[in-house]
Each structure stands twice: as structure tokens, then as C-alpha cells.
Amino acid sequence: NAGVTQTPKFRILKIGQSMTLQCTQDMNHNYMYWYRQDPGMGLKLIYYSVGAGITDKGEVPNGYNVSRSTTEDFPLRLELAAPSQTSVYFCASSHSQGAAQETQYFGPGTRLLVL
Amino acid sequence: GNSVTQMEGPVTLSEEAFLTINCTYTATGYPSLFWYVQYPGEGLQLLLKATKADDKGSNKGFEATYRKETTSFHLEKGSVQVSDSAVYFCALSPAPGGYQKVTFGIGTKLQVIP
């Protein structure tokens, strides 16, 4: 059981380049999330999805896009990379959010450096 | 809005020392409270949780009690080990009622030295 997997683990981008961070979960979870983790700032929610075909913005969506064509996959797209997007990105999933006590399961993260 | 406050650290302890990491929160209603742990190079994983006042969550020797009167959820362990070195995140999930995001604290780095 792989849980939540993310690729790549590390990437260096030049300013203005684009890339897609991949996220896949095999737990049949309805909810999926993208967070960024900056030093001393905790986790900030970028986008989330409550099921295939449904996505919504989180706290810091500017500069990112997502899609959710299947239950398993939730890729995050950076169109025009900027130095401010240098961060560690985590994908997570949960069975639902209808119950407040629902646990989130995290992937290992993607470290992105924009130069 | 909701918020979670915890010290950033690092907290440095000798092996077998007692650990306390403070966490206080601001929220309406009765949120659920969590501690997540992040080991070096890995994603976050759930350590323990509590879903109502006076509940005690426990796992791997760690404990935390949901104190509604002091809006706190402090993490404790009686005797830490080197393998406990990690970053610990306190988190809050609002009371049910449609989707509301989970709020994470900034994380507290724990270093345990032999």
C-alpha cells in the first residue's frame, strides 16, 4: 500500500519556466490537498479537491493551477515560476472532511527551487 | 478566524528528558485537535488526536489532553529518545459543517542528543 506518492522529489526551475508536480493516492480518498511549507510559516493550503472534477482555492492559490480528473490523481501546475514559489510542496488526502476528526495522509514532499 | 500557536524551537533535550511542546488555539465551537510529526526528509504523519474536551490522545509514549477551558493541547512525553528528533505540528480541524480547512501551527523542531 503506497499511500500518497509525489514526484519529483526535487527540482530546480528557472524563472518563467513551468512544471507539474504529480500526486497520486491509492486509498480511494475523496479529499485531496496541496500545501506549501515555508520555514517558520507552517503549512499553507494552495488548492483542495472534494472529489473528481471538483477543485477550489485555498489560502495561497495565485500562480498555481490544479485539476482532478480521477479520484487518484491531483497534479499541481506552476505556469510561470517565480522565486517566491521556492518551497517544499506537500500533497495530502483524506477520506472526507464531513467529520472534523478526519486524519490527513501526506506524501513525502517535493522540494522546488526557483532561480 | 481559527489559529494555532506553538513555539518554533528548536527545542534541544538530552535523551530520557521530559518533553513538553505547548500548543494553544483559537476557534469557535468544538474543533478536533491533532499533533502531526515530520521526520527528516518525510511528509507529515498523524501522531495523535482528540476530538472533544478532556479527551486524551496518546501514541508512542506521547500524550496530549484537549483542554477547552485553557484552549490548549500540549504535547508531552516522559522520556524522549534520539529517534524522536523531528518537527511537531499542532493542528486544528473546525467543527463539522461543510468543508473548512485544517489550520496548522508553524511546527516545533525537537532535537534529542545522546
Is A98's pLDDT higher than 60? Answer: no
Q: Which amino acid is at B46?
A: L
A104 interaction partners in chain B (CB closer than 8 Å): 44, 46, 102
**Phi-psi group of A50: left, alpha or beta (phi > 0 → left; psi -120 to 50 → alpha; rest → beta):** alpha
CB contact under 8 A, A97 and B41: no
A2 vs A16, more confident: A16
* Spatial separation of the C-alpha atoms in residues A8 and B31, rounded to whole Å: 35
User: Chain A: residue nearest B99 by CA?
Assistant: A97
Nearest-CB residue to A101 (from B4, B44, B49): B49
Pair B74, B22: CB distance under 8 Å: yes
Output the CA torsion A66→A69→A71→A77 (10° steps).
Answer: -20
Taking CB atoms and an 8 Å cutoff, what residues of chain B touch A102? 93
Residue A87 distance to chain B (closest CA, Å): 14
Tell me what pLDDT residue B57 has: 96
Neighbour-count burial of B55, counting CB atoms closer than 10 A to its CB (0-12 exposed, 13-18 middle, 19+ buried): middle
pLDDT value at B112 more than 60: yes
**pLDDT attached to residue B54:** 94
Q: How many CA atoms lie within 13 A of B29 on its CB side?
A: 14
pLDDT tens digits, residue range A3-31? 999 999 999 999 999 999 999 999 999 99
pLDDT confidence tier of residue B99, bands split at 50, 70 and 90: low
Q: Quick check: B33 pLDDT over 90?
A: yes
pLDDT per position as a tens digit, A33-60: 999 998 777 899 999 998 999 999 999 9
